[in-house]
Structure 1
C-alpha cells in the first residue's frame, strides 16, 4: 500500500514537471517567432535519433539509451529557452543585428543554462524536490543550453565561461581580450551540446525563417558535410548521414503550419 502511494506521488510530480517544461517551451515560442512548436519538436526528435545511433556505436546498453532519450528530447527542445531574457527589439528584429546586438543575443546560452542550475529560482526549487531524473534533466538541459553554439574547431560561443557571471574562467580568456572566453573545442564540448548543435543547424537551414527561404536538401547536406571537423563533430556528421531517412520522416511529421496568403 505504501509503495503504491509513493509511486502515485512520484508519477504526479513527474507529470507536473513535464507540464512545467512544456509551458517553458511555449513561453519561448511566444517570445521568439522562429522558435516554433514544430521546430523544437524536430530538433528534439533529430537529437535523440542521432544519440541512439551514437550510443549503439559506442556500446551503450538499451537501458542506458532509453534512460537518456526522454531527458535529451526535452533538453533539446529547450535549447534556446535563454532567449526569453533577450529584448523583443533584438529578438524580433528583421535584418542583420549590429555587433552589439549580436553580443547581447549570444548571452542567451548562458542565461538558458542558468535557468537550470540556479537553485534559488522558482524552477530550481520545484525540481529539487523531485527524484533523480530531474537532477539529470537539469544537468543535461544546462549543458545543451550553454553549448549548442560551440563549434568543433573552437570558434563557437560562449566558450569557457562561469555560468553564474558569464565571464571567462581563469586561464581561458582570449589574449588581449580579457572579457572574451576561448571557445570550447572537440570533446571539450559535451556530447549533447555537439548533437543539438548539428540538429539545430540542420533544421534552421532546412526551413523558412523570417530572414531566409528554406534551402533545398542537397545544399543543406553539402554544407553539413563540408563543416564536419570544423563546425560539427565529424563522427556525429557520419551518424547524421546514416539516419537521413528517419530525419526526413521527422520533418514530415512536424511540418510548419502554412501561413495564410495576404
Structure 2
C-alpha cells in the first residue's frame, strides 16, 4: 500500500459482531441491493460502515450478507434483484468465489447483476485468468481497496447496472407494445377492447415496479353524455360499462377527461395522463390513467407508440361496428321480405329470433353465440323468395308437387348464404338449411336425425313451429296455446330435440312474454 494514504482512507479490519442484514437507517424500499459474500465478519462490518451514507440516483443501499458458498448461493436465489455482488474468492474452498460466479451467470441467469471480485489471496485467482475466463465486472485486491476506491467501485458498478436495466426495460417495453398491439385487433367488443387497453397500459408502465397502483378510465363521448367503456383499480367496482362517467369519477378526474375532449388532445401531468382519440366518423374516446409516479420520457414514448396503435384499432373497431350494424339491418330486412311475400307479419321474424336466443342461452351457449343465433334465425325462411307466389300464398291444401316446391326453400336459402366467410352468415346458412329437419329423421331436405342436425337448426325448428302454430296464416287459423303445448309434448323426441322441449317448458313464462311483447293483429 502507498505510505502517503491517511489512516481514514484505509479499510482496517477489526473484530466485530455480525451485523444485521439490512442497513438500519431509512426505508429499505426502492434501494440498490448489494450482496456481500465473504467469510470474514470484519469485511461485512467495514463495507457497511464505509458505504453507510452512500447514495446514487436518489437511492440508498440495502445490504444482504452471506458468509459461505452454500449460504451465498441460497441468498442470491432469494434476491434476483441484486444490483451488485461484492464477492470473496477463497472461502469454503479455494475457488468458492469463482464457483459462485458460475452459479450467478449460468444457473441463475442473472446477466445484469454487477459482480466485483475481492480477494486477499490473488495468487489463488490471478487477475488476468479470472477476468478472461469468468463473467465478472471488476477485480480488486483487498489490500488496494481504500474507502474512496470502494466508494468509486460501487458507484461505477451501480451506474452500469442502472443503464443496463434501462436498456432491458426499454426492450421489454417494446416487446409488450408489439404483443399488446397484436392482441388489440383480436378484441371485437368495444368494452372488451377498452378494458384490454387499460390492462396493457398498466403492464407497459409497470415493467419493474412492484408497488405501483394504477387507476384508469376508458370513456366514450355520446351526443350529450360521456359514458364509461371500462375502468381499473379503485374505479373498477363502481364504474359499470355504459354508465355516465360523471356519476362515478371524482371531480378532478372528470375535469381532466372533459378537458381532453374539449381540447381534443391528451396531456401528461405529474400524477396522471390522458390520451385522446377521434375516429374518421367523429367518434371520440379518452383514456385517463393515474399512478404513483410521473411517466419517464421513455414511458411517454412507449405510450405515444401504443396510443397510435390504439387509435388505429379504435378506427377499425368502429368501422367493423358499422359493417356489423349494416349487416344486421340487411339480415332482418331480408327475413322480413321473405315473410311479407308469404303475407305473414315481420313480427314472426322478431319472435322467432327472440325465442331462438332464449333457448340458446338456456342450453348453455355464451351470450355472443346466442346473439348470433338471434340474428341468423331471422333468415330461416329467406329461401321463400324463390318460391312462386301462387304456391306460397295458396289458401287451400297444397298438392304433393306444390309441397315439393315449397320444401325447396331450404335449399334456396342455403345456396344464397353458404358462400360467406362471416360467422353470422354461416350460422344463417345452417339455420335456413336445417330448420325443417326432424329429430326422428323424418324431416327435410336431408332426413337428418338427432344430433346430426346442428344445434342451431334444432333451436330454430322449435322456435319457428311454436310461432307458426300460434299465428294466423292464409291456410289456417292460430292454434290455442294448450293445443300447441300438447303438440310439443307429443313431438318431443320426434319432431323436436327432447332436451330443448324440456327447456321450452321450463321457461314457458319467458317464451310467452316474448310472444306478447311482439304480438301482431290477426289476419282477416
Indicate yes or no: 2:489 matched with 1:237: no
* Displacement over 2 Å in runs of 4+: none
Mapping for residues 39-58 of structure 1, pairs under 5 Å: 39-55=348-364
Given candidates 235, 238, 252, the residue that maps to 2:516 is 252
Cα deviation for residue 146 of structure 1 reads 0.5
Instruction: Call closer, same or farther: CA 1:39–1:238 in 2, change over 3 Å.
Output: same
1:4 and 1:219 map into 2 onto residues whose CA distance is 52
Which digits, 9 at most, give the CA deviation of each residue in 1:134-187, with x for residues without a partner? x2112211110000000011000001xxxxxxxxxxxxxxxxxxxxxxx10000
CA RMSD across the alignment? 1.5
Instruction: Give 2:462's aligned residue.
Output: 198
Higher relative contact order (CA 8 A, sep 6+): 1
1-side partners of 2:379 and 2:501: how far apart? 22
| SS of the residue 1:79 aligns to | coil
- The normalised TM-score by structure 1 is 0.78
Please give the TM-score of this superposition, normalised by the length of structure 2. Answer: 0.40
1:7: which partner in 2? 317
Matched, 1:218 2:519: no
Aligned to 1:187: 451
What is the aligned partner in structure 2 of residue 157 from structure 1? 444
2:517, 2:488 → 1: CA distance? 22
Q: Give the match's secondary structure for 1:93.
A: coil
* Counterpart among 14, 26, 36 of residue 336 in structure 2: 26
| Alpha-carbon shift at residue 54 of structure 1 (Å) | 0.6
Gaps of 5+ in 1: 119-123, 129-134, 160-182
| Cα distance in structure 2, aligned partners of 1:223 and 1:156 | 17
Greater Rg over alpha carbons, structure: 2
Indicate the SS of the match to 1:209.
Answer: coil
Shift of the 40–26 alpha-carbon distance from structure 1 to 2, 3 Å rule, reads: closer
Q: Higher strand fraction: Structure 1 or Structure 2? A: 2
**Residue 109 (str. 1) matches residue 373 (str. 2):** no
Mean CA deviation greater in 226-235 or 200-209: 200-209
CA contact (8 A) 2:336 2:349 kept: no
| Alignment match of 1:148 (pick from 413, 435, 459) | 435
Q: Which residue of 2 aligns with 1:94?
A: 395
Distance 1:258 1:149 in 2: 25
Report the CA distance between 1:32 and its aligned residue. Answer: 1.5
Instruction: Quote the offset at 1:258 in angstroms.
Output: 5.1
Cα deviations across residues 204-249 of structure 1 (Å, max 9, x unaligned)?
Answer: 1112222222111111101100111111111111011001000010
In 1, the alpha carbon distance for the partners of 2:499 and 2:522 equals 35
Partners of 2:335 and 2:380 within 8 A in 1: no
Q: Within 2, Cα distance between the matches of 1:202 and 1:4? A: 42
The corresponding residue for 1:227 is: 491
Contact 2:340 2:346 in 1 (8 A): no
1:84 is aligned to 385
